Structure 1
Amino acid sequence: MEIASAQEGFSPSREKFIGRTFNHLGAAIVGFTLIECALFMSGIAESMARAMFALPWLAILGAFMLVGWLATRTAHSATSKGAQYAALAAYVVAEALLFVPILFIANSVAPGMITNAAVVTLVATGGLIAVAYTSRKDFSFLGSVLKWGGILALVLIVCGAIFGFQLGLFFSVAMVGLAGAAILYDASNIFHHYDEDRYVGAALELFASIAMMFWYVLRIFMSRD
């Protein structure tokens, strides 16, 4: 696989792969938004949120992590395009369901908060992708940082759920930073490293990082009210 230099730019096949990846990313974001709109406009979201409030958070988190792992593995390993698309769709639906409680609370406190958090997330994402694209630098070195940062974050989340302490504003800010690094890492892999037939899996990875940033940006907005 060719890795383009800053002077040479990307090959036509790489440009086509990049375009496909971001088209699928856009479809995933639109799909997520439509699912949330349908849930809230139908009134189902309130019932879902109240039911999920009654469940142990670790059980919900564990189920989501399992779905995420299976979807990511399928999207990157399946030879069938149908299986890859099914994995992406399953992940988008899982994210939409996981977001219901936090969106329900945010909508109850201040409806405009969700839009503001979404705008901040999309602007930050666009800026980070632009940095990766225009610089042509390889940010794969961030992989180790993300691995250990993710493990530490998971330990803190589990401890918070078990012992009942709040992680607070500083944790949310740190997680936004971690999500930003993940977006930069994913974008760099899209531009330099992914096999050119894996645009569905690449879109799934980047969507997951954007969703994580949106979650914690929303938590920051909520902490102000």
Structure 2
Amino acid sequence: MELEAQVNGPNTYGPSREKFIAKTFNHLGGSIVAFTAIEMLFFSTGFSEKIARAIFQLPWLAILGAFMLISWLASRAAHTVESKAMQYAALGAFILAEAIIFVPLLYIADNYAPGVITNAAVITLIATVALIAIAYTSRKDFSFLGTVLKWGGLLALVLVVSSVLFGFQLGMFFSFVMVAFAGGAILYDASNIIHHYDEERYVGAALELFASVALMFWYVLRLLTSWRD
């Protein structure tokens, strides 16, 4: 890699790294398309209402715990298994889990705040592209954000669990903070893709970045839906 940097100059990456980066971002795009297609299928068939009603009847902590377990297993598989087929299976399982957990929020937004889903998607897409562009063009290593994101994520989880247990609402300020948190996660993931990931792990890298993009979409959608209420 050092030799490639000398040959290509300080502002470019070697051919193998560029290929890896392109593959990862292509897989991110494919993941977003797959997520969108699943949601469209749920809503066009009326299955979204059944999913939403079923989830509304379950304890939120059970749903959160199941989702976190699926996310952890999918991420671990995508980063550790050697088989590409299993890596893609992990990515697919994660996309499906995300699509299911999003249904109640999308169902509420679609019925009570028409138009906000598209607006939230556009805002999330623009922010994601901008953050990736910052990471790519600046060549700066944003891995120092890892510690901040780790402790910030733990604090956010404690607040979410506490709100469920003690029955208080996490207001719009929390959503604003989580949008900023998700932006930091996207920047951190993009930087790791550019500088640190093993070049054979583009599926796992795409999964991590997709998770951060989905997190931003969730809280942008929550904010816009709250404003329309």
TM-score tier by shorter-chain length is over 0.9
TM-score (norm 1): 0.98
1:135 to 114, 135, 138: 138
Distance 1:24 1:35 in 2: 16
Q: Report the AA paired with residue 137 of structure 2.
A: T
Specify the alignment match of 1:147 in structure 2: 150
Specify the alignment match of 1:63 in structure 2: 66
Measured after TM superposition, the shift of residue 4 of structure 1 is 5.2
1:82 matched to 2:73 = no
Specify the alignment match of 1:187 in structure 2: 190
Runs of 4+ in 1 over 3 A off after TM superposition: 1-6
Specify the alignment match of 2:179 in structure 1: 176
Identity, in percent, stands at 68
Helix, strand or coil at the partner of 2:49: helix
Deviations 1:10-47 (A, max 9, x none): 10000000110011111100000000000000001001
Measured after TM superposition, the shift of residue 110 of structure 1 is 2.1
Distance 2:14 2:210 in 1: 24
Aligned length: 225
Measured after TM superposition, the shift of residue 51 of structure 1 is 1.1
Are the counterparts in 2 of residues 67 and 91 from structure 1 also a CA contact under 8 Å?
yes
Specify the alignment match of 2:165 in structure 1: 162
Gaps of 5+ in 1: none
Specify the alignment match of 2:207 in structure 1: 204
1:216 matched to 2:219 = yes
Helix, strand or coil at the partner of 2:12: coil
What RMSD over aligned residues (CA atoms) do the two structures have, in Å? Answer: 1.3
Specify the alignment match of 2:15 in structure 1: 12
Measured after TM superposition, the shift of residue 8 of structure 1 is 3.9
1:22 to 21, 25, 41: 25
Specify the alignment match of 1:99 in structure 2: 102
